[in-house]
Amino acid sequence: MNRSRRLRILLINPNTNAGLTRLMQRSARTVQCSQTELHCINPPAGPAAIESTADRDAAAAALLRLVQAETCRGFDALILACFDDIALQEIRQSLSIPVVGLCEAAIAAASALPGRFAIVTTVEAAVPGIQAMLHVYGASDRACVRAACIGVSEAASNGDLAAEKIDACIRTSMQQDGAKSIILGSGGLTGRATELQRRFGIPVTDPVQSAVALAEHRARQRLPQDSGAGTLT
C-alpha cells in the first residue's frame, strides 16, 4: 500500500464551540499518524452545544451547508465529531470520500474488547438516541448508556463538579452494569480518557481518537498500491 502519500483528513465539530474544536484537535494529534494532515473546524453559526432535538436539527443543517459549500474538497476522509452521528448517512451519500462518525468509531473500538461496555454521556436527553445507535451498530446486547447529568459545555470546561459526576457515572456503570470498559459518549468529554483509564483501571475509549484511527484506515484503503508492494491487511 502507498504509505508515502500524506493523508488529509477534515474533522468537523458540528457545534460552534471553538474551544471544544481545539480540544478535539489536541486529542486527535496524540494518535494521528505522522503522514496525516489533520484540519479541525466548526460551523460559523448554529448551536454552541448539541443537547436537544432542536440543537441536533440546527447542527445537521449547518453540517450540510458546509459540505454543500465544498468544504471537504481535497480531503481524503471526513470525521463528523459529534457522538450523535448526525447527518452521517446523508453526508456519506453526497461525498466520494470516507465519512466517519464518533459513535460508529467508538463502538467498533469498544466491541473489540472483552466484556460489556458502558457509554457515559452528558445530558439525560442524549440517552435514547445513543441507545438507538447501539441497536443500529449491533451492540445493544452488550452495552448500556448512562448520563452524568452535566451539560456539554460544562463537561468540556473540566471543572471539579463535572469530574465528580463523570466519576460517579463510571463507578455506577462498573458496579451495577458490569461494564469492563467505558466509552466517553460526548465530544465534551474529549481528552479525559487517559486519566480516567489510569484511575479506574479499565479501558476508556475517546471517540475522537477512535474516529481518527478509523478515518486513516478507510482513507488508506482507497489509495493505489505501490508497484510491487503487497496489500496491507
* Nearest Cα to Cα of residue 95 among 111, 124, 125, 75: 75
**Does residue 185 carry a pLDDT above 50?**
yes
Q: Which of 75-79, 105-109, 143-147, 158-162 has the lowest mean pLDDT?
A: 158-162
CATH code that applies to domain 104-206: 3.40.50.12500
**Does residue 228 carry a pLDDT above 60?**
no
Please check whether residue 183 is in contact with residue 196, taking contact to mean a CB–CB distance below 8 angstroms. Answer: no
Task: Please tell me the total number of residues recorded for the chain in this structure.
Answer: 233
pLDDT band at 4 (very low <50, low <70, confident <90, very high): low
**Does residue 223 carry a pLDDT above 80?**
no
User: Could you read off the pLDDT of 16-27 as tens digits, one per residue?
Assistant: 999 999 999 999
Is 104-206 in the same CATH topology as 7-101+210-221? Answer: yes
Please check whether residue 222 is in contact with residue 98, taking contact to mean a CB–CB distance below 8 angstroms. Answer: yes
User: Could you read off the pLDDT of 56-95 as tens digits, one per residue?
Assistant: 999 999 999 998 888 999 999 999 999 999 999 999 999 9
**Does residue 120 carry a pLDDT above 90?**
yes
pLDDT of residue 157: 79
pLDDT of residue 1: 43
CATH class of domain segment(s) 7-101+210-221: alpha beta
pLDDT of residue 224: 64
Domain chopping of the chain, boundaries:
7-101+210-221, 104-206
